Chain A
Amino acid sequence: NAGVTQTPKFQVLKTGQSMTLQCAQDMNHNSMYWYRQDPGMGLRLIYYSASEGTTDKGEVPNGYNVSRLNKREFSLRLESAAPSQTSVYFCASSVTGGNQPQHFGDGTRLSIL
């Protein structure tokens, strides 16, 4: 079982460049999420998609856009990368409804110079 797959695993960008982080899940989950993890700050929700065709902002959405391409895939786009967006990005998925556990990918480590 692959679970949640994130690509790429590592990326270095220059300030102002754009990039799309990819996420796919094979667990037939309706809900998907994007988080960023920074030292001393835990994980913070960027955007989430409760179901195919819907997306909503989380705690730190500025500078990001998302696309729920289909039930399996949820991408995160940085239109004009800034050094403050250097972070580890995690995608997660869950069953919708109730308090269902979220299943995480292994992250994308993104550095912006």
Chain B
Amino acid sequence: QQQVKQSPQSLIVQKGGIPIINCAYENTAFDYFPWYQQFPGKGPALLIAIRPDVSEKKEGRFTISFNKSAKQFSLHIMDSQPGDSATYFCAASKLTGGGNKLTFGTGTQLKVEL
């Protein structure tokens, strides 16, 4: 059972374009929604994260839009660059007294062409 569904599986955009990656979740107890970026041969690294009490968060060229009623959130990359070519994972978790158990989406391979 995939609790976090991510689309598209892959995406190709031209330099300067705005790729959009979408995720949908099922568990309404989730209260933390991070995005991770992964380059080949490396582990994922946190890119940006949002809590459900806000509808949008921007950090540099990266923006998360969050729609609590639809249980959906998305990542927008403004003015995309070839260096943004990577795999992007959305994730979700709920606050617990111990560790932060993340549920990941299946990933989106982004390629930004010159």
Contact yes or no, B43 A54, CB < 8 A = no
Contact yes or no, B98 A56, CB < 8 A = yes
Contact yes or no, A49 B107, CB < 8 A = no
Task: Identify whether the interface residues of B are mostly helix, strand, loop, or mixed.
Answer: loop
Contact yes or no, B104 A42, CB < 8 A = yes
Give chain A's interface residue range (CB within 8 Å of chain B): 20 to 34
How many residues of chain B get a CB closer than 8 Å to chain A's CBs?
A: 29
> Inside 8 A of B93's CB, which chain A residues have their CB?
99
> Inside 8 A of B51's CB, which chain A residues have their CB?
99
Contact yes or no, A44 B98, CB < 8 A = no
Picked from B9, B45, B100, B103, the residue with its CB within 8 Å of the CB of A104 is: B45
Picked from A33, A99, A106, A107, the residue with its CB within 8 Å of the CB of B95 is: A99
Determine the distance from Cα of A54 to Cα of B45 in the docked complex, in whole angstroms.
25
Picked from A41, A45, A98, the residue with its CB within 8 Å of the CB of B102 is: A45
Encoded as 1 (CB less than 8 Å from any B CB) or 0, chain A from 76 to 113 comes to 00000000000000101010101111111111000000
In the assembled complex, B83 has its CB within 8 A of some CB on chain A: no
In the assembled complex, B31 has its CB within 8 A of some CB on chain A: yes
> Inside 8 A of B43's CB, which chain A residues have their CB?
4, 90, 92, 104-107
Determine the distance from Cα of A90 to Cα of B44 in the docked complex, in whole angstroms.
9
Contact yes or no, A31 B99, CB < 8 A = yes
Closest 10 A/B residue pairs (Cβ): A50-B98, A104-B43, A99-B32, A42-B104, A50-B99, A31-B99, A101-B46, A42-B106, A43-B104, A48-B99
A residues sitting closer than 8 Å to B (CB atoms) are 4, 31-33, 40-45, 48-51, 54, 56, 58-59, 90, 92, 94, 96, 98-107
B residues sitting closer than 8 Å to A (CB atoms) are 4, 6, 9, 31-32, 34, 41-46, 49, 51, 89, 93, 95-107
